[in-house]
Amino acid sequence: MQGKNETILVVGFDGNMGRRYTAILKYLDVDTIGIDLRDKWPVPSQYTRAIVATPIDTHYKICKRLIQLKKDFLCEKPVSKSNNEIRDLIRLCKFNGVDGRMVCNWAMVLPRMTHGINENKIFIDYYNSGNDGFWDYIQPVYLSKLDDLIIRKISPVFKCKINYQSAKSECFDLSYVKIIRFWFTDRNQLWTLSDALAANIKLLQWAKKNHVK
């Protein structure tokens, strides 16, 4: 597999998602370097590309730094809550020849699900959406036909169906492994920063229409 001759910088490696990506990379036999927000960055020659797994409000600054260093990156979702910041990153990536991607593990949850946007029927019921409000729903909103999206916050046990197929928690664990594999073997399977912008726009429209906070 491609990637075994690389070293990946995991920014935010001691957080929940950073630990997940570090575990996946080790599982795939890929070398890693981990830093947190206050740590000194390694010299650019020590790593080939980076995963950004820090709080949302830090993504923009970190991604800009990686672009300046000419390092391709995979950023946790959402890339930013500001559409203008994402537009700026798109511009900078194009100018500097850097490939920036947004995490899209939901697109890999079930083998036969439709990867395309606006094409899936999705049902979610779980009391805890996460720490970032409606932003935690950016992936299912982007993937779904909005008329076929049902989100409830009642069940103490995570329940999810995609196109009438049950998606258990282990399916989501495996989906993260899949996106990292694709990042090394076929990154075109992953969402671009243009997708990140389109997902933001769709999510904000959905949240406004449904009075979701």
> Which 3 state secondary structure label does DSSP give 47?
coil
A 10 A CB-CB count for 65 gives 15
As a whole number of angstroms, the distance between CA 82 and CA 103 comes to 17
Q: Which parts of the chain have pLDDT scores under 50?
A: none
| Amino acid at residue number 96 | N
pLDDT score recorded for residue 3: 67
pLDDT score recorded for residue 116: 63
Q: Which residues contact 130 (CB under 8 A, 6 or more apart)?
A: 136
Q: Which residues contact 13 (CB under 8 A, 6 or more apart)?
A: 19, 21, 22, 32, 34, 35, 36, 53
| pTM for this prediction | 0.94
As a whole number of angstroms, the distance between CA 126 and CA 202 comes to 22
Percent of the chain with pLDDT over 90: 84
State pLDDT tens for residues 102-149: 999 999 998 766 556 778 899 999 998 888 999 999 999 999 988 899
Residues in the chain: 213
pLDDT score recorded for residue 100: 98
Percent of the chain with pLDDT over 70: 96
Q: What are phi and psi of 11, to 5 degrees?
A: -90, 120
Q: Which CATH topology does 7-105+172-191 take?
A: Rossmann fold (3.40.50)
Domain boundaries, the chain: 7-105+172-191, 106-167
